Amino acid sequence: MRAGRSGFAVVLAGTLALGAFTAPTAQAASTGVKVSNLVLNKGKPIVVGTSAEVFPTFKYHLSWPSGLKQTDVNATLYLYHGTTAAKGVDNGRPIFMNFSSCNETGPAAADCEGELYIDPRYTLDANNDATTWKSALWVRIWDAKGKLKSQEYLPLSVTVQVKRAAKVTVDASPEPVAKGGKLTVTGKITRADWAKHKYTGFGGKSAKLQFRKAGTSTYRTLKTVKANSAGALKTTVTASADGYWRWTFGATTTTGGATATADYVDVK
């Protein structure tokens, strides 16, 4: 897992990565390793559903004390939400690194990039995991004989929001509809439930009803409707032209936004 001089790669796959955090211990102390310019998921929130694995990207600049070689330094980036970086590993369920590669930019520095790994079936087990996660680097320093000299759980200043994925459906009827007739537009808002591992109703969320006239490229917002306690949406509009109907809503602090695949209605 340690590097070659021109660069190195670390792979931690699936549940094996969790085991990496229980490696032989050494005295926790400052290693002198520093991280700068960390970017998580291109600066965007991480949105996770109920089953699909997610691989958020990261990049950062790494430096280490003179006298050490790159092969002496092993760094594992992870996310946690807890009181300290160490407790985030020992007592929490971290979001850990899946892959990292580093290329030296000087005698004691490298630029690193890679990806994290999230499997919502195992990594996230409660909806309160939809929160702000902190970042940290698990640093280990090895001697020439491969013995672990020291290690550090280095907290970093960059945070990232992990959010529950959401969906919305739409159905406009009757189809076709007479011009000037009443069109009923329904739908349902759901979002990932990480405890139940399925999508459940997102009650009380407001969604915009939008229409795009056939032959045009722009949607217009006609009204905003609040979903009932089960996430159901329903409203009635007057049909005036052929076109596409959809519901859309924005993200919240815990949930990603969503837009329905539009429903085309022919107006006779």
pTM as predicted:
0.88
Contact assessment for residue 167 and residue 178, using Cβ atoms and an 8 Å cutoff: no
| pLDDT tens profile 82-98 | 889 998 887 668 999 99
Amino acid at 13: A
Task: Output the six-digit token pair for 71.
Answer: 């092969």
CA distance 257 to 160: 17
- 12: three-class secondary structure by DSSP: coil
- In this prediction, residues 213-230 reach a mean pLDDT of 98
Question: In 3D, which of 4, 163, 158 has the Cα closest to residue 73?
Answer: 4
Does 3 have pLDDT greater than 90?
no
Q: Set out the domains of the chain in order of their start, with CATH numbers.
A: 8-163 (2.60.40), 166-265 (2.60.40.730)
Q: Provide the pLDDT confidence category of residue 28 given band limits of 50, 70 and 90.
A: low
Confidence at residue 82, expressed as pLDDT on a 0 to 100 scale: 82
| pLDDT tens profile 71-127 | 999 999 999 988 899 988 876 689 999 999 999 999 999 999 999 999 999 999 899
Does 208 have pLDDT greater than 50?
yes
More confident residue, 29 or 131: 131
